[in-house]
Amino acid sequence: MKRIARRDSIVWLGEIPEIDEYAYYGIYRELSMLGFLSHVMERNGVRAFLGMIRRWGKAVLGKEQIVLNSAGIFHVGPEKMVEMAEGCGLKLKTYFRHKEVDQQGSVVDSQFRYDYLFTV
C-alpha cells in the first residue's frame, strides 16, 4: 500500500477481527460432509439434521448445491495490527471499533472488529 499510495494519503483498513469469529460462532470449516452433518446435529438438533440429509440427497441428484468451506479468517488484535502496518511503512492515524447495525436497527460498536486509519 505504501508503494502505490500517494504521499500524505489516508489508507483505511476496515472490519479486521481481533478473534477467529468462525471458531467463536461455531461455523463448520472442514471438507467432510459426514463431519458437517455431525456438526449440524450437535449445534442445531434433529430437525436441522434431517433437513440437511434431505438437501444432501438433492445435491447428490444435482438439484441442490452444498458448499463446504475449509478457509480460515485472518484475525489480529489492534496492537499486532498496528505493529504489522508500521512495519510496512504505514503510520497509524487512529483506530476504533467498527460500527454495525444491531437487530433493533441501532448503530453500535462491533464486538470483535476494528477499523484503522493510516497515513503514508
**Please, which residues have CB within 8 angstroms of residue 43's CB and are 6 or more apart in sequence?**
26
pTM, full prediction: 0.75
Q: Let me know whether 83 and 118 are in one domain.
A: yes
7 — pLDDT class (breaks 50, 70, 90)? confident
Alpha carbon distance 67, 95 (integer Å): 35
Average pLDDT, the chain: 94
pLDDT tens digits for range 67-97: 998 888 899 999 999 999 999 999 999 999 9
Q: 78 and 54 in one domain?
A: no
Whether 53 and 11 share a structural domain: no
Torsion sign (Cα): 101, 103, 105, 106: negative
Q: Is the pLDDT of residue 1 over 90?
A: no
The per-residue pLDDT for range 49-61, each reduced to its tens digit, is: 999 999 999 999 9
Nearest Cα neighbor of 98 from 87, 107, 89 is: 107
**What pLDDT digit, counting tens, does each position of 106-117 carry?**
999 999 999 999
Q: How many domains does the chain have?
A: 2
Task: Tell me: do 7 and 34 sit in the same domain.
Answer: no
Q: Say yes or no: 79 and 103 in one domain.
A: yes
Q: Which domain holds residue 83?
A: 1-21+74-120
